[in-house]
Amino acid sequence: MKKVLIVLLGLAILGGIGGYFLWNKPHQDVASAKADVIFTADHLLNAFETDENAANAKYLDKIIKVNGVIKDIENNDSGEISVILATDNEMSSVICNFAPDFGDTQKLKSGDEIVIKGLCSGYLMDVVLDRCALAQK
């Protein structure tokens, strides 16, 4: 009887520890993750403009590595940085929202050629990548 209790207690503690780690599971580390697909900003936007549903099915939640030229950099109220990549379409682009603690975005400026990795959230007027990080070519 005592043994059963000890085993049960052990299981409960293990479960607790497991639950704790699950609860505090970190966000996906995009910076060190391998990209699922590689695109130019133009191709990425084209994919969504041509067939949004198909592109959603293929690319949502995937880590996308995209290269392009910076059209604009915007800071929002919460101190996060968004890099907007130029495309052939003047009205639409690729918006890359950087994860809050990515300090190396400071040096970026309009006109720079850049490679960015991010999680694809979908398409409104633009394709949106979240939790972005700078990547190597």
Partner 1 sequence: MKKFFLLLAFATIFMAQANAQKYGTRKGTITFDSDTNMEKIHAVNNTVSAVIDAKSKKLQFAVLIKGFQFKKALMQEHFNENYMESSKFPKATFKGEIVDGDVNFVQIGSYDAKVKGKLTIHGVTKDVTVPVKIEMSKAGAHSTATFKVVLADYGIKIPSLVKNKIAKEVTIKVDATLPMLLKRNK
The footprint of partner 1 (CB under 8 A) covers 22-28, 56, 60-61, 74, 76-78, 80, 82, 95, 97, 119-126, 128, 130-131
Beta carbon nearer to partner 1, 26 or 103: 26
Distance CA 86, CA 59 (A): 20
Helix, strand, coil share (%) of the chain residues, nearest 5:
35, 35, 35
Task: Output the smallest distance, CB 129 to partner 1, in A.
Answer: 10
Beta strands in the chain (DSSP E): 37-40, 63-75, 81-85, 94-98, 113-123, 127-134
Give min distance, CB of 7 to partner 1, in A.
25
* CB nearer partner 1, residue 82 or residue 105: 82
